Amino acid sequence: MRHFLTTADWDRAELQALLDDAVDLKKSPFQDRLNGKSIALVFFNPSLRTRSSFDIGAHQLGAHAVVLEPGKGSWPIEFEMGTVMDGHAEEHVREAARVLSRYCDLIAVRAFPDFKDWSVDRQDRVIKSFARHATVPVINMETITHPCQELALMLAIQERLGKPDGKKFLLTWTYHPKPLNTAVANSGLLIASKFGMDVTLLCPNEDYLLDERYLNLAREYTSSQGQNLTITHDIDEAYDGAHVVYAKSWGALPYFGRWEEEKPIRDAHKHFIVDSEKMARTDDGLFSHCLPCRRNVKVTDEVIDSEASLVIEEAENRLHVQKALMSALAP
């Protein structure tokens, strides 16, 4: 049984097949591919795009989606094996995943990190527990990576640029008042490098480097296709000649659980905002962001509203790529 937990488990040709099918689905949105099937959408965190695009996408293919929010409209779930469940959780993932598997053909899960200890969060325990106990395929709707966002981004890039090979992809850290998940940044690295782009990671200093797991994968993917992963803290150098600028904010991994110590460092780098002056250094570069996005904090109005901005196209593509994914995975 195939899950979609991370694109690292899928090769480029398999991911391209999903993108090609998404293009067909974009042209013919209403099909009966999933007639009578069901998907459980399990949200431990809020969402606008993911929730609506999966729900509507399932409907457009003839399937039914049920949204569950453990701890709100459904029971809080325990993930520790062998534990005495005398705390807050009312049921164990071992039952929850198996019961949902009897009702549904697919289970999709959103579970952000706890932001206390990266060595724990990087184990991705919630979605891996669902995958271990479920008897149907499990889809990652964002945990410590965001693979559906990766597909939507790559489709948007291909729609504007054609073949991405050799094009310069800049992933830039941006300021945000709160420490955010590294998931989309990890994913930006994974998908751009897997599709043969020349990748640059721009961040304020070494504390903002992403987990070695994703840096190493990006190095492996780029070098196997004659490209490079460049890490820099120099804004001008990073933007020079870029074809795609992908913006995201994230909290520094060494400061997990000590965010009051990280805040002054983050606050000192508000100038990482994506603006027209920086975009002028690119090679007619495109701009994108996964959304939601704080305007005039991460990117100026002028850039996000410009012709170069992919944000709405990328968000729309979530619908099409996820329909391709559900079609490919549903038994």
Q: Which residues bind ligand CP (CB under 6 A)?
A: 47-50, 142, 149, 290-292
* Choice between 89 and 126, CB closer to ligand CP: 126
* Choice between 21 and 150, CB closer to ligand CP: 150
* Choice between 52 and 216, CB closer to ligand CP: 52
Place of tokens 């964002």: 142
| Minimum gap (Å) between residue 39 Cβ and ligand CP | 15
| Minimum gap (Å) between residue 112 Cβ and ligand CP | 10
| Minimum gap (Å) between residue 124 Cβ and ligand CP | 17
Angle, CA of 221, 165 and 247, to the nearest 5°: 75
* Choice between 16 and 47, CB closer to ligand CP: 47
| Minimum gap (Å) between residue 47 Cβ and ligand CP | 3
HSE, side-chain direction, 13 A CA sphere, residue 280: 4
**CA distance readout (Å), 165 to 168, 170, 196, 204:** 9, 14, 4, 27
Strands 198-202 and 168-173: parallel
| Minimum gap (Å) between residue 291 Cβ and ligand CP | 5
**From CA 191, how far away is CA 158, in angstroms rounded?**
12
| Both structure tokens of 51 | 């929730």
> Which residues are registered as beta bridge partners of 43?
110
* Choice between 179 and 241, CB closer to ligand CP: 179
Q: What is the DSSP letter of 270?
A: G
* Choice between 46 and 166, CB closer to ligand CP: 46
| Minimum gap (Å) between residue 292 Cβ and ligand CP | 6
Is residue 51 a contact partner of residue 43, using CB atoms and an 8 Å limit? yes
| Minimum gap (Å) between residue 48 Cβ and ligand CP | 4
Angle between helices 311-329 and 12-27 in degrees, nearest 10: 110
Helix (H) or strand (E) holding 262, with range, is helix 259-267
**From CA 242, how far away is CA 284, in angstroms rounded?**
8
* Choice between 161 and 291, CB closer to ligand CP: 291
| Both structure tokens of 265 | 């460092």
